[in-house]
Amino acid sequence: MLLDLAVLSVCAAVTVGAVRLLVIPAVETISTRFGFSSKLKGQIIGYATSVPEFVVVISSALAGVFDAGFWNIASSNIINCVLFGSAVAAYRQHRDLPRRVFADETAFVVLSIAVPAALFMLKVQVTLSAAWGLLGLFAAYKGIDRAVNPRGPSPPSQPGGESRAGSLLKALVALALGIGIVIVAGRFLGRSAHGLVTRLGTPAWCVGWILGFITSIPELTSFFEIYRLHKKRKSLHLLLDTQEGLDALVASNMCNLGLILPIGMFVYAWVR
């Protein structure tokens, strides 16, 4: 048990370091080089930080305990919202959230929580039709997002930004390395947490909630890092900070629900 706790602590710290020192700076460099909007930048961060959920859900499906994977996704989406709210409160950005420009992102956040709740209450079985339905939901999210926000707000131009962006190759390597570290750390996090709760005879839903908190560590790091960087650039309260953070939240939650969960369903249907 002490070994599992030690592994959890070390992997959590490594995950935070990988996201802050590799993933976020790499996305910043790539976004600057290609002129990505704050919306697209946030979405890239959101997808990258969903990697631990993918690892845990697939591992659970292969082990034949899909309930833990389902609750990992359901709890992670709720926890992500709480963590985003904590970052918003810490940097006093709460007045930006009710703005009309963020209405579609807010709706998708609510949807990412409501759908898993509905699946649980309706006792929807793990079927291929359910998996395809969730994939269709993700496709609808992307279609609506592009229709409502064809480009997204552009980041403010910065003199000399191109030269300060750094090496694109180094950024790509850092991004790949950061995601790789998150994958490996997520694997160990899942194993250690699962080992702890198994020895204690914890039910699957509780395992999922514990894993949900653990796999949300990258999102926690990214939300605070996004606002920290905007504060450093003195661009807080210009909406680009909240746009980036909110899209990181939406992309992570919708990826969990509309991509990772159905892939886990396909895997579980294949192995059982």
Assigned domain for 154 exists = no
Assigned domain for 125 exists = yes
Assigned domain for 126 exists = yes
Model confidence, pTM: 0.83
Assigned domain for 160 exists = no
Assigned domain for 200 exists = yes
Residues in the chain where the model's pLDDT stays below 50: 152-153, 156-165
Assigned domain for 153 exists = no
CA pair distance 72, 267, nearest whole angstrom: 16
pLDDT tens readout for residues 6-51: 776 787 788 778 888 888 888 888 888 888 888 899 999 999 888 8
For residue 119, give its domain range: 2-147+165-271
Assigned domain for 59 exists = yes
Assigned domain for 157 exists = no
Structural domain total, the chain: 1
